[in-house]
Amino acid sequence: MPIHVIGLNYRMASIDVREIFAMDSDAIANTLLEWRESFPGIEAALISTCNRTELYFASDLDALPNYKDVFPFLVAPKRRNAEETTFDRYCDFFQTLEERDAAEHLFSVTSSLDSMILGEPQIHSQVKRAYELATAAQTTGPILNGAFQTAFKTSKRVTVETDVFKRRVSVPSVAVVDFALRIFERLSDKKTLVLGAGEMAEETLKYLADYGAQSVVVANRSREKAERLAAQWNGRVVDWSERLQELTTADLVVVATGASEPVVALEDYLQMENARKTEKSLFILDLASPRNVDPQIGKRPNVFLYSIDDLEAACAHNKDLRDKEIPKARKIVQEEATRFLADINARKSIEAIRRLRDGWNEIKEAELERLFNKIECDRRTEDEIRYAFDRLVNKLLHSPTVSLRNASQTESAPRLVEALRRLFRP
């Protein structure tokens, strides 16, 4: 099997190691051009993200470069000549995969089954970009073209045919998709008030923006942090002391501060409750621990209050449902890998048969020429002799041809092709 991969990812290497091998698009493009000069005729594609750097290479040639020769092309160009970035120093962080394992790995990566966050949407586009860079550098060919096209097909099948990615398991994503969107038909016309400016608030805002939230107000004890967060989402900042006033017009409230006691008390809400339209729903996400919103507020009319415990319970439930779908997704990966390998084997088998037939026909023609130079015969006799030789070659080729065609759908095909090469050198 002519496809190999060498690389490292978040499972094997910490961020400080991964940074050494991370490359942007320009670095990848330059690396592939160097590859083409160093290994002409050997296909290559390079995937580099914050969580992985992997080099895929393939060829129908009998000999591929060894992993030590390939290693320099995994190092970011700016670090490539540094003495400390040697294969011997970093080889323990890398995995090497061949044949079926390499194909299944590519398909799993593209389908986000090998991601730090299962189902992260970015990886599919990152793999697609890596493939585009490889085709632009002219380092792909029939093997990697087929592998990447099958990877994209596999990713689509996993998305459509399973519920793996329909089950969100992060607190912010569950808060927005599984809770907020049940209350509100859309978010584009809703006002979002964010109390706090930490990572949880930022990630929740990201999901809200993905689903159309536009009007964002941020309040935080540190105004500087609030301004930094609001700037990312074209929001506005209010002083911490104005947070309750903003609550009177908010539709959706995200609370995630480090306070040890409620920042929205029941008496605070009761004082401003009459200022709110009684029929207007108020959705509150209390993402803090301990809770930042008095639980009694959730009992007020048209108030939907969810705490971190509610969300984590939903995450756990989603995770159980999602995990049940993973074997189905893995089966799709295996099916596509089997189909891809069968196509590769069939192509190699057909090529081997063609070369064997051409070789034997060349021998046949040489022997016929030698024979006709020694004997005299009429045209009809010559045709009969040629016909007999053709039948002999076809009968001799029949058995290996049938065996190779039948084996092309199995993993024994590469061994049969190799045996054919060794026996007959086609």
**What single string gives the DSSP state of each residue in 227-272?**
HHHHHHTT-EEE-GGGHHHHHTT-SEEEE----SS-SB-HHHHHHH
What would the mean pLDDT of 151-178 be, rounded to a whole number? 85
Q: Is the pLDDT of residue 425 over 80?
A: no
pLDDT-derived band at 188, boundaries 50, 70, 90: very high
Q: What mean pLDDT is predicted for residues 306-323? A: 83
Cis peptide before 65, with omega less than 30 degrees from 0? no
pLDDT in tens, 289-301: 889 999 999 999 9
> What is the distance between the alpha carbons of residues 199 and 269, in angstroms, rounded to a whole number?
26
Residue 123 has pLDDT above 70, yes or no: yes
Residue 144 and residue 340: Cα distance in Å, rounded?
11
Q: Residue 326 has which token pair?
A: 């993973």
Mean pLDDT, rounded, for 360-387: 88
Confidence band of 242 (pLDDT split at 50, 70, 90)? very high
Whole-number Å distance between alpha carbons of 310 and 315: 9
Q: Which part of the chain has CATH 3.30.460.30?
A: 3-161
Q: Which pLDDT score is estimated for 75? A: 85
Confidence of residue 138 (pLDDT cuts 50, 70, 90): very high
Return the SS3 of 203: helix
Answer yes or no: pTM beyond 0.85. no
Mean pLDDT of the chain: 86
Q: What pLDDT sits at residue 270?
A: 92
Selected residue with higher pLDDT from 245 and 170: 245
> 97-106, 127-136, 318-327: which has the minimum mean pLDDT?
318-327
Amino acid at 24: D
Of 416 and 46, the structure prediction assigns the larger pLDDT to: 46
Percentage of the residues of the chain whose pLDDT score is greater than 90:
42
Are residues 47 and 54 in contact, defined by beta-carbon separation less than 8 angstroms?
yes
* pLDDT exceeds cutoff 70 at 83: no
Candidates 3.30.420.40, 3.20.20.70, 3.40.50.2000, 3.40.50.720; CATH matching 171-315: 3.40.50.720
Mean pLDDT is lowest, of 15-29, 161-175, 297-311, for 161-175
Quick: pLDDT tens for 203-223.
Answer: 888 888 888 999 999 999 999
What burial letters (b/e) apply to 9-24, b meaning 16+ CB within 10 Å? beeebeeeebebbbbe
CATH 3.40.50.720 intervals, the chain: 171-315
Model pLDDT, residue 377: 87
Per-residue burial over 368-377, b = 16 or more CB atoms within 10 Å of its CB, e = otherwise: eeeeeeeeee
- What does the pLDDT average to over 360-386? 88
Candidates 3.30.70.20, 3.40.50.261, 1.10.8.10, 3.30.460.30; CATH matching 3-161: 3.30.460.30
User: Residue 209 CB: number of other CB atoms within 10 A?
Assistant: 18
Q: Is the distance from CB of 308 to CB of 150 less than 8 angstroms?
A: no
Q: What is the pLDDT of residues 317-354, one digit of tens each?
A: 878 888 888 899 999 999 999 889 887 777 776 667 77
Is 91 assigned a catalytic role? no
Residue 394: predicted pLDDT: 86
Which range has highest mean pLDDT (7-11, 119-123, 398-402)? 7-11
| Catalytic-role residue among 50, 91, 315, 377 | 50
For the chain, what percent of residues have pLDDT higher than 70?
A: 88
